Structure 1
Amino acid sequence: MKKILLMFIAACYVLISCDSDLTIPDPNRLSRESYWKTEQDAINGVNAVYSTLHRGAISRWMPFYYIVRSDEGWSTSPATDIVNNMDQFVVTDYNYGNAYGIWGDLYTGIFRANQVIYYVPDMEISEEIKNRTEGEAYFMRAFFYYNLVSLWGNVPVLIDPSTPEDKPFTTPMAEVWRLIELDLGMAIDKLPAQYSSENLGRATKGAAQTLLAKALMQQHKYDEALTPLRWMVEGEGAGIYDLVDNYRDNFLITTENNRESVFEWQFAINPTEFTDDDAATPNHNYGTSLAQFFGPSGIGWSDGEARRWPIWEMMEETTTTGDRDPRIAASFLYDSTDVGGPEQTMIYGQTFASRYGTNNNRVWFRKFQNDHWKNEEGYRSPNNWRFLRYADVLLMYAECLNEEGQTTQAYQYVDRVRQRAGLAALSTAKPGLSQAAFLEQLKHERVTELSGEGHRWNDLARWGDLGPDLASRDAGFANFEVGKDEILPIPTAEIDLNPNLTQHDAWK
């Protein structure tokens, strides 16, 4: 399942070097000219691109900006920099380390992807490996730019292997989105629809179709997004992907890369490491430390927590048998993860009551934690991050159909998601909704299905819902300035290094 991880780290070191001004080559160091020769070179090259997902800023802090900064999460961390920058919209340091780290890691990934895209086409290797590795690199470059444009808006674009002398200009958002679309189009053309078991976890044609649909939807190009989504739901993808029977199987280490998984970040335990602390070691990044930072108090650092209102949202309906929505227990750790209450709810081997008492209202995200197989967290979690799931695809398809006036046709895809959770079909519970009412219902469906998976911020941005009105359920939004806080300021240090970069007007 995770065999491709074993080659990530070594390949990573091969590709981060830049051209040297020295005229005498170092015989102990691979150069660009001496490296790109064999099929294994191409494979290792693209493995290094994936390896960027394990870097601390991306695997730990980037989810904070999508989850904690949105209205479904918040922070009570004693680290006030986390609270101010990631929750309260109080940004005073444009070089804030955790945000700047994400920026740097995303561009590291782009640098690695650019090398694959630049060098692999001229390699004398099989067309199968050439197409696949190029396609993976195009997909990953689009992924990195998708996050840059989502978080920072106008950003510099680099499409060739860079050098320290490069001084790219700031690129308007529309052009960044266009590059993402082009890259994903290339990925769709070159990627296989499926892999054999030893390559599970690599980007597929379906992953590229889905990310393309997301990019188009963020630009309100709903009609164009229908094409890649149709491939996923009514075309070839329908024979590959489906919902798993048990919702929680999407978040357990024993059921990774299942038929509902469209793309997930691969994490693993490094068998040569016998520590789970935060010490820097050469192979530290086989796993992710996010579970440690989202872990409940006394288990992890609890720097990111869940708001309670999504639970109330999930409790608006019961299943057709009168039971509670099972997605509540799969999504959150709180006083009533077990319907029996704090005395019956287990938190990493102890009852909620014994850990926190019976009147504690704190809630933690559960989906990517490890309480299903151990009673502690650490810095090297092997639990994959499920970035794209088929349930998300079905809800995206329903949203696009509704936006194009095909509300009646959209019902069936919401029905599939609801019925997997045991709820009545929407076509039975609320037939005949207007286009506007159906969108409001979809907002509810995406909360109940996808809470804590990192999509909430972009959902709110797409719907135009970011603003102080959200303060009624997330106090941090009282500080939100419309026209400014939708994006982050470009790091000042980058502008100091590159006079061609322009700070966003709202952050000047």
Structure 2
Amino acid sequence: MKKRFYNYLKPIFTIAFLSIITVSCTDLAIEETDSIIAEGSVVFEGVADVDASITNLYNDTYGQLGDQANFFALNEVSTDETLVPTRGTDWGDNGIWRTLHSHTWSATHQYILSTWNNLNQNVLRASQIIDPLSGPTAAQEADARFLRAFSMYFVLDMWGVAPYRNPTDGADVNPSVLSAQEAYDFVVNDLETAIPNLPANGPSESNNRATKAAANFLLAKVILNSERYTGSAPNYQRVVDLVDAIAADGYALQAGYFDLFEQTLDNETIWFANTGVGNRIWNGLHYNQNSPDNTGGGWNGFSTLAEFYDSFEGDPNSNYVGDNQEERRGWVPDASNANSDNLGIGYGFLIGQQYNEDGSILNDRTGEPLVFTKEMPGLSGNGENTGVRIIKYHPGGEGGSFRGHEIVFRYADAHLMKAEAMMRMGGSATTLVNELRTLRGATPLGSVSEADMLAERGRELYVEFWRRNDMLRFGQFTRNWEFKNEASVGDPTWNLYPIPVNALLSNPNLVQNPGY
């Protein structure tokens, strides 16, 4: 079989170009391998190597997850959790970061276009693997269905619709557009079809590929959010049942919060990506914070808001050992606890004076003590020390600061999904939430409201791709937060991203989302 790829965006110049070839080269026999045919006139015959195609699709998906821009930025920088302030001329980038946090993006935003293209291309490639012409085994098809469901779900979640192209459609055929309900049904069907043919792994070093637990996790996530797509109340009992199935496969909460983000085996990691975690480490650390495998230091960009930092227990103005902070807020080393293992770099949220690994005071590039401040003047006009920094993956961990192991699905998330489903069915989430809080060194709650649940998810899952999704489900994505554009507060337009202009021009079946 020959593997055929079509550009997801319909080529504009194909017909005219082929007409020129026909006129000027009518006496030539054109081989089907010639590049001039690849755009529109070649019939899909199935992929040549199914295993290789699946591996390539996993690798490309992992590369997209490991990026600090695009997918990550749309899910995190657009929230109350993460921002990328401009520092002098650093991180200006023509406002591409600032517009995400302030909710002033447009249909020409590069990260919106790139994420749209990446996710839809993933869907098409998975569909080509699944197609009977490719002859996949049941296990191969299940892998591809899981990957297709993952990408299509985020297309639905971000844009409210999902384009779909059949593999046998030529490049001259415009993709159809699935409504929110149709896309939701499509994703659910993919997962339900895949689950029986996926391996029943418990915690395993091979969980960089789909398992029953990973598919059950994604299905629970899709169902929990389903009211946004279908207009009907979710089947909360099914969410509970799916999480119980994950637990039955051997997954459970585990103590030692920051140990979970090492590459060693743990009981919580359901699905991890083989992608470098360097972006999660270095994009917020200062230029003078470094490690043996990155002597050039950090990139001094990403930070968090004071209000998000303040949602954790502990001293509001410092984060040193003994400041009565919960484990998830981490700690900043000083002269008494800086060493070669932690490189003088803290865990969690870095605020206040920063230190070298010998315990000496670390300076900024001007020679002044490097003190990260909670307060920032705005999205622009920042110095190199403004903003609390976030570091969940640590450069001193096993495998170094660029190890290829980033968590995508984690049991603590599933545990909180179950608690939320029970709460929304009229029951109590308090026991399950307090089980997690106690394990993380946080004070148990007397009761759990919706606001408490959203805050708990933020404290447990920061920078794990889910903050936008959570805020939307709880109706909080359009609320006000620091440095947000006042005109966007309360405006439902921003609950969806705009269809990129390029996509609208290439596919007349698409209609721009309201408000753009």
What is the CA deviation profile of residues 288-320 of structure 1, one whole-angstrom value per residue up to 9, with x for unaligned ones?
6554444445533334322232322111699xx
Q: 1:494 aligns with which of 488, 503, 510?
A: 503
**Is the CA contact (8 Å cut-off) linking 1:52 and 1:108 kept in structure 2?**
no
The residue that corresponds to 1:460 in the other structure is: 471
The residue that corresponds to 2:79 in the other structure is: 70
- Label 1:251 to 1:347 Cα distance change in 2 as closer, same or farther (>3 A): farther
The residue that corresponds to 1:246 in the other structure is: 256
What is the CA deviation profile of residues 179-215 of structure 1, one whole-angstrom value per residue up to 9, with x for unaligned ones?
1111111122221211896743101111111111111
The residue that corresponds to 1:88 in the other structure is: 102
The residue that corresponds to 1:148 in the other structure is: 155
Q: In structure 1, how many angstroms separate the alpha carbons of the residues matched to 2:315 and 2:410?
A: 23
The residue that corresponds to 2:442 in the other structure is: 423
Q: In structure 2, how many angstroms separate the alpha carbons of the residues matched to 1:186 and 1:133?
A: 12
**Is the CA contact (8 Å cut-off) linking 1:368 and 1:383 kept in structure 2?**
no
Q: 1:108 aligns with which of 116, 121, 138?
A: 121
The residue that corresponds to 2:186 in the other structure is: 179
User: Which is higher, the Rg of structure 1 or of structure 2?
Assistant: 2
The residue that corresponds to 2:417 in the other structure is: 396
What is the CA deviation profile of residues 355-412 of structure 1, one whole-angstrom value per residue up to 9, with x for unaligned ones?
453463322221145354699x6xxx334221211001111100000100121xx333
Correspondence list, 1:97-496, <5 A:
97-119=110-132, 122-123=135-136, 130-160=137-167, 163-194=170-201, 199-220=206-227, 224-233=235-244, 235=245, 237-253=247-263, 255=264, 258-267=266-275, 289=279, 291-298=281-288, 299-315=297-313, 323-329=324-330, 342-343=352-353, 345-346=354-355, 353-355=362-364, 357-358=370-371, 360-361=373-374, 362-368=387-393, 370-372=395-397, 381-407=402-428, 410-424=429-443, 426=444, 429-430=445-446, 433=447, 437-467=448-478, 469-471=479-481, 474-480=482-488, 482-496=491-505
Q: What is the deviation of 1:479? A: 4.1
**Is the CA contact (8 Å cut-off) linking 1:68 and 1:74 kept in structure 2?**
yes
- Paired amino acid for 1:110: V
**Is the CA contact (8 Å cut-off) linking 1:335 and 1:341 kept in structure 2?**
no
What is the CA deviation profile of residues 475-505 of structure 1, one whole-angstrom value per residue up to 9, with x for unaligned ones?
2252425121111111111111122211112
Q: In structure 2, how many angstroms separate the alpha carbons of the residues matched to 1:251 and 1:225?
A: 29
- Label 1:154 to 1:348 Cα distance change in 2 as closer, same or farther (>3 A): farther
Unaligned runs of 5+ in 2: 9-13, 19-28, 86-90, 289-296, 317-321, 334-341, 375-386
**Is the CA contact (8 Å cut-off) linking 2:239 and 2:417 kept in structure 1?**
no
Q: In structure 2, how many angstroms separate the alpha carbons of the residues matched to 1:441 and 1:476?
A: 22
**Is the CA contact (8 Å cut-off) linking 1:73 and 1:306 kept in structure 2?**
yes
**Is the CA contact (8 Å cut-off) linking 2:207 and 2:271 kept in structure 1?**
no
Unaligned runs of 5+ in 1: 1-12, 124-129, 269-286
Correspondence list, 1:51-66, <5 A:
51-55=59-63, 59-61=67-69, 62-66=71-75
Normalised TM-score (structure 1): 0.76
**Is the CA contact (8 Å cut-off) linking 1:109 and 1:144 kept in structure 2?**
yes
Q: In structure 2, how many angstroms separate the alpha carbons of the residues matched to 1:347 and 1:374?
A: 21
Normalised TM-score (structure 2): 0.75
Q: 2:513 aligns with which of 501, 504, 507?
A: 504
Q: What is the deviation of 1:444? A: 2.3
**Is the CA contact (8 Å cut-off) linking 1:292 and 1:301 kept in structure 2?**
yes
**Is the CA contact (8 Å cut-off) linking 1:370 and 1:383 kept in structure 2?**
no
- Label 1:304 to 1:65 Cα distance change in 2 as closer, same or farther (>3 A): farther
Please give the root-mean-square deviation of Cα atoms over the aligned residues, in Å.
Answer: 3.8
Deviates more, 1:386-395 or 1:211-220: 211-220
Q: In structure 1, how many angstroms separate the alpha carbons of the residues matched to 2:133 and 2:390?
A: 41
- Label 1:301 to 1:159 Cα distance change in 2 as closer, same or farther (>3 A): farther
Query: Percent of aligned positions with the same letter in both sequences?
Result: 20
